[in-house]
Amino acid sequence: MKASPIRFAIIGSGNIAEKHAQAIAAVPGAKLIAVWGRDPNRGRSFAKTLGVDFVTDLASLAARDDLDAATIATPSGVHAESSLPFLRQGKAVLCEKPLEITMEKADLMIDTAREHGAILAGVFQQRLGVGAQAMKKAVCDGRFGTITLASAQLKWWREQAYYDSVSWRGTLLLDGGGALMNQGIHVVDLLQWLVGMPSEVFSYSACLAHKRIEVEDTAIIALRYPSGALGTIEASTACKPGFAMRIELCGDKGSAVLEDDRIARWQFDDERPEDKSVRTMGSGAIVGGSGDPRAIGFEGHRILIEDLVGAIHEKRSPMIPGSEARNAVQLILAAYESVRSGKPIRLPQLKKHAHTNSMGGTKK
């Protein structure tokens, strides 16, 4: 018997909410039935465009019997506030990055989902690309040997108008940070997914190319891993015109470079028959927004919506559970604590800090 469609609500009505709507429409087993938004005028217009209800009360929406899941596309600092009503009703939630901007809020979401038997999934679409999947398989197969350097770069560009367009963007209270927490989190998550979490971080940050924001537009993190391997993360929204996201993994038996969703270098001691196809497979369908946030594609979201539909029907964990989406937040908060204290931070000893400890940089 064909399973009934999973009925979704989109919580939020901004740019990324549009990607959620496109993704839901592209999944045969999913159906959008409602929208909720912090801005009633924008929310009503968005809902009208989609041909669905606009709802003003979040709690009543979460309690509806004709709703199975919600996607969270609100500002980062209200992800918990937006998610908890649904999790408490046992509804599935797919939450945009970051899961939240503090460990307390992120852990509350995870604990609430567990307590009420709800599915909590995170959005990190870069993991789903063909290039990223090939790199992950090479790591699992031990092809790098001893990994010596693991590095990530996200050198994007955002116009000043991007920060000026909405009042919450670039604020500690609702954005929780800048180039690291908002954009760089993509490579932070991808790097930790590939090689694991570092044991220690040391970070610098600055605000160099933008005005009227409370957060960094440029940051670097030095990484030390439990194995002794080293690494770096660079994140910026101040690199015009914007460059491809880049991951470099180097070891004593080979190295590989990923640029967006394309393998740019692939060289190992143990050459395998499939290596030629990996080198020539080209870019996949996971499209980033290096110079324009609206250029981000929705294919990764489509895959995650499809996976969530399957997880609900099959009563299984999603592809990226909330407990895993938590890792990138923890690493970034450690970097922010390093900037505040001027000291290296060991992740197992990371204390839980509110948004006031986020990285601010030097404002102009």
Task: Quote the pLDDT of residue 1.
Answer: 54
Per-residue confidence at 284, pLDDT binned at 50, 70, 90?
A: confident
CA atoms of 356 and 71, how far apart (whole Å)? 27
138/240 same-domain check: yes
Please tell me the predicted confidence (pLDDT) of residue 287. Answer: 78
Looking at the fold, whether 115 and 177 belong to one and the same domain comes out as no
The reply to whether 156 and 290 lie within a common domain is yes
Quick one: pLDDT at residue 289?
85
Among residues 233, 273, 279, 274, the alpha carbon closest in space to that of 255 is found at 279
pLDDT at 96: 98
Q: Is residue 178 in some structural domain?
A: yes
**What is the model's pTM?**
0.93
Looking at residue 214, what is its pLDDT? 97
Categorize the per-residue pLDDT at 103 as very low, low, confident or very high, splitting at 50, 70 and 90: very high
DSSP conformation class of 240: T
Could you tell me if 220 and 340 lie in one domain? yes
C-alpha to C-alpha distance for 286 and 62, rounded to whole angstroms: 31
Would you call 5 helix, strand, or coil by DSSP?
coil
- Number of compact structural domains in the chain: 2
For residue 321, tell me if it sits in a domain: no
Is residue 275 in some structural domain? yes
What φ, ψ does residue 357 adopt, rounded to 5°? Answer: -95, 5
323-354: pLDDT as tens digits: 999 999 999 999 999 999 999 999 974 444 43
Range of the domain at 64: 6-125+296-311
Check which CATH number belongs to the domain holding 20 and give it. 3.40.50.720
Give, for 36, the enclosing helix (H) or strand (E): strand 30-36
Residue 317 within any structural domain of the chain: no
Backbone phi and psi for residue 348, each to the nearest 5 degrees, phi listed first: -60, -20
- Same domain, yes or no: 88 and 25: yes
Q: How confident is the model at residue 120 (pLDDT cuts 50, 70, 90)?
A: very high
pLDDT reading at 361 higher than 50: no
The verdict on 270 and 305 lying in the same domain is no
What pLDDT score was predicted for residue 354?
A: 37
State both tokens at 357: 């400890």
Whether 85 and 182 share a structural domain: no
Same structural domain, 185 and 234? yes
pLDDT band at 195 (very low <50, low <70, confident <90, very high): very high
Query: Largest alpha-carbon pair distance within the chain?
Result: 62
Same domain, 229 and 240: yes
Q: Which residue has the tokens 């920060």?
A: 163
Instruction: Tell me the CATH number at 133.
Output: 3.30.360.10
Domain co-membership, 99 together with 172: no
275 and 224 in a single domain? The answer is: yes
pLDDT band at 2 (very low <50, low <70, confident <90, very high): low
The answer to whether residue 356 scores a pLDDT higher than 50 is no
pLDDT per residue as tens digits for the range 5-60 = 999 999 999 999 999 999 999 999 999 999 999 999 999 999 999 999 999 999 99
Residue 246 shares a structural domain with residue 351? yes
Measure the CA dihedral 208/210/215/221, to 10°.
Answer: -40
* 225 falls within a domain: yes
In a domain, 203, yes or no: yes
> Does the pLDDT of residue 255 top 60, yes or no?
yes
What's the whole-number average pLDDT of the chain?
A: 93
Using 50, 70 and 90 to split pLDDT, how confident is the model at 286? confident
- With respect to residue 232, please indicate whether it lies within any of the assigned structural domains: yes
* pLDDT value of position 26: 98
Within-domain flag for 319: no
